[in-house]
Each structure stands twice: as C-alpha cells, then as structure tokens.
Structure 1
Amino acid sequence: MKIIDAFWEKRNLGVSATEVVVEINDEVCDIVERLKTLTTEYNVVKLPVCRVDVSFALSKLGFSFIETMNHLTHDMRTIPLDSRKIEIFDSTDFLPMENEDIQTMYSNIRKGLYKTDRIYFDSYFTPQQSANRYIGWISDELERGSEIYKLVYNGECFGFVGFKKIREYEYQNFIYGIYPPFQGKGLAFNMTYKLVDELKVRGVKAIYIDISSNNIPSLQASIRYGYMFNSFTYIFVKHK
C-alpha cells in the first residue's frame, strides 16, 4: 500500500488530499485501519481490479466508486488509413507548442474542454475546479520537461497531444484534446497517428495512455486506432 500526500490538489482544488494506492497483497484489515487515520479533506483510493473484495470495506467507510481507469498500450503498429484520412494526415503538421499556443489551450480548458474526469462529475467540486486541476497538472508536466505538440490542419490549430518519456523506449501520452470547433470533423485519428509517427523516429517501442470509463468516445477512438487494454484500476473517493 502506498500513501501519497497529494499536496498539489491544495493548489488545484483548494482542499488537502491523500491518494492511497492499494497493492495486490495488501490485507483488507490493514487497508481499513490506514484509511481510518486519514485526516485530509479529499481522499482517493486506487484499487486493482483483482481486489474487488476491498471495495465492500471501502463502501462501509463511506467511499464512493467514481470511475475505472483504463490503462492502454500502443505497440507502434498502426491500422492502415483510407484515402481521405491519408490526405488529412499528410496535410497535418505536428509541432511543439509555443507559449501563445499553451495559453490558447488553457483558455479552451477554462471554457470546459474536459467534461468527463472524476472532478467534473463530483458534486463536491465545480467545473472551474476541474479546469484548474488540468491546467495545474499540465503546468507541472511542462516544468518537468514533458512535451506538448499542437496539430495544425489547413493552417488552423485544432488540438494538442502531451507526452513524456517514462522508460527507455517507452512514452506516456498524458494529455490530449481537440478544440470544440473541430470536434466531429474526422480529425481525432491524427492525435494517435501523428504521435506514433513522431515517436517512431525516436526509437520508441510503446506508448501508454490512461482513459476514464466516463469517457467512452475517447476509449472507442483509442481502440480503433491501435491501443490495446493493458490493465484497469478502480477509483474510489471520499470527502470529509
């Protein structure tokens, strides 16, 4: 069991927070006793799917299930595109974001770009707090050296992809999005294909991505364009 002081949530959400990562061999009684000692305002438990037995104890302690986090892997093999998508792919530029691009991204997030995360769906929080959390998270990633690229089609930036190296030959796609005016236009595949194209040049062998069960369209698109399920984590939350 890992107990993490999620101090960054004080900045993002305005509350103290603790994350508890349950491991496969943890005893239920030990988990329960540790959770009873938590004094933070917002507590999150991450539970491996093989430990469903723990979920009953969490319910008795007042924790609520809020999502399943799906962990997916792309092995760098892409599904062939039709002629129309090939044309779009060839006409799309994948470029590092400048500061102006980052501010545009933040502006779109503040306007409600993301509406499927556990903070957005939690009645204890507001949509603005959800947006603040995304912006704080991305800002932290950029400070740590993570990269965010923009996608430009016909001279217009329609979205972005954030990624970082986690191990030799392995990267994490930690954030992505398509701006509202371009949603439903058949451009989403480019987020995967352009990222794979960029990382192949770097010798990358695998890309990982985490997608909430609350975001079915994103899950469907990711599977369609080459990601495969790897593992799952149940997420439970409790407010003091």
Structure 2
Amino acid sequence: MKTVHAVWERANLGVEAYETVLTETDTPESYAQAEQGLIAAGAEYLVVKTPANCPALLFGLPALGYVNVETVFHVAIRRADYRMPASVARFDRGLSVVLRTEEADRERVYAIIRAGIFRSDRVSVDPAFTPAQAGNRYANWLAQMLRADGLLYEVLQGERPVGFFVIARVDEHTVDPVLMALYDEDHDRGMGALLHKKTLDTCFEQPCDRLTSTIVSNNAKVLRVYTNAGATIADTQYTYVRHVARRPGPAAG
C-alpha cells in the first residue's frame, strides 16, 4: 500500500485529495484502517487504484463507500511494431503538426481546455465536480508538463487548429504521449483517429525505441486505435473514488 497526498488537487479541484495504490497483498480491512487516518488528516477526495484481478478489493472497496469509476490500461508500442492501419492512414490528408513554444499559443490552448473539452476521465464524469473544475485541472496539468520540458503540439487542418497533444520523455529510450484532445469533437467527428495517428507519428520522430502511455476505459475508442497500431497492454488497474463530507468547523464562541 502506497499513499500520496495529492496536494496539487487543492489548486485544481479545491479539495484535499489522497491517492492510494493497493497490491494483491492488501485487504479491505487494512485499507479501511489506513483510510481513517487520511480522513482524520482532512481528506475530502480519496482515489484508490488496485490490481484488476483481486476480488477481495473489487467487492470490499464498494462496501466502504467507493465507486469504481474507470479501468486504466498501461500500454506500450515498440518502434518496430508501430503500424497505423491503412483504413486510418489513407485519410491523413491536409493535416499538419506544429510545435508550440510561444507563451501566447500555450495560453490559447489552456483557455480551450478550461472551456471543457475533456469528457471521459474520472473527474469529468464525476457529478461532484463541475466542468470548470475538470478543465482547470487539465490546464494546470498541461502547464506543469511544459515546465518539465514536455512538448506541446497542435494538429492543423489547413490553418485551423483541430486538436493538441503533449509528448513527455520517460527515459532515454521511452516517450509518453501523455495528453491529447480534439477541440471540437462534435464538429470534427471522425477526426479522433487521425489525431492519434499524428500523435504516434510524432512520438516516433523523437529519438526513442518505444512509447508508453495510459488509456482509461471510459475512452475505449483510443484503446482500439492504439492496439490496432501495434500496442500491447502491459498492465491493468481499477480506479475507485470516494468523496468524504467536510466536517463543520468548531462553533464560534
């Protein structure tokens, strides 16, 4: 069991958050005991990740008030295995990729994200959070990645930006296309697979042997694109969340 105080979520979501990763050796009882300490410390939003094949946790965490919100797939594509299907590649016409380094371009992308373009992650689907909170969380995350030397790209159709993606370096052999999205999924329906093609193509233009990334089950279309392009699933985790009601402060004397 490993727990991290997710202090960044105070700025992102306005809550005290803790994230815990459990293993097959952990039990609902041992986590329940640890959870009491987190709540006593002021936890308001608890996130727990578990192995997929662990029935005790699968049934035990809901009994503690947790909701299973997504499955996380850890995927990898080796350079030698990368192959975008012709059914996608043949539509790659008139699209270009531009690296964005100017602060004005980055601020424009932050504003688009804050307007609410992410709809499938555990925060976006959670009725306890607003679209504005979810958008703010992603914009802040993007800014953090760029400060850590992540690379921000936009995909253009002609002169019109249709989406963005970010590539981060994991190690000397590995890159990670951490984040990507279409700006207007309804208007550009069908463009998603091409955005992923441009993302993966650009990853393998970097000096690397492979890419690794995570994909959530709420966005199964992305997993399909990746597996069709040569990805293997290296690991799978379940994600659970629980919201803890804020305790009222002491009455004024």
- TM-score, length basis structure 1: 0.88
**Aligned partner of 1:152: which letter?**
L
1:183 to 183, 188, 199: 188
The within-5 A match list for 1:142-181 is: 142-180=146-184
- Which residues of structure 2 form unaligned runs of 5+? 245-253
Aligned twin of 1:117: 121
> Partners in 2 of 1:153 and 1:73 — Cα distance?
28
**Which string of whole-angstrom CA distances, capped at 9 and with x for unpartnered residues, describes residues 26-59 of structure 1?**
3444323212221200000011112231122212
**Which string of whole-angstrom CA distances, capped at 9 and with x for unpartnered residues, describes residues 96-144 of structure 1?**
1132332232222222211111112112111111111111111111111
- Helix, strand or coil for the counterpart of 1:119? coil
**Which string of whole-angstrom CA distances, capped at 9 and with x for unpartnered residues, describes residues 48-96 of structure 1?**
11223112221222111111112222223213536973651xx433221
Aligned twin of 1:238: 242
1:24–1:158 Cα change, 3 Å: same
The within-5 A match list for 1:16-95 is: 16-39=16-39, 40-76=43-79, 77-81=82-86, 85=90, 88=93, 91-95=94-98
Aligned twin of 1:130: 134
User: How many correspondences in the alignment?
Assistant: 237
> Partners in 2 of 1:25 and 1:137 — Cα distance?
32
**Aligned partner of 2:183: which letter?**
Y
- TM-score, length basis structure 2: 0.84
> Partners in 1 of 2:224 and 2:157 — Cα distance?
23
> Partners in 2 of 1:87 and 1:9 — Cα distance?
38
1:143–1:154 Cα change, 3 Å: same
- Which residues of structure 1 form unaligned runs of 5+? none
> Partners in 1 of 2:20 and 2:133 — Cα distance?
21
Per-residue deviation, 1:225: 3.3
Aligned twin of 1:13: 13
CA contact (8 A) 1:72 1:228 kept: yes
1:109–1:51 Cα change, 3 Å: same
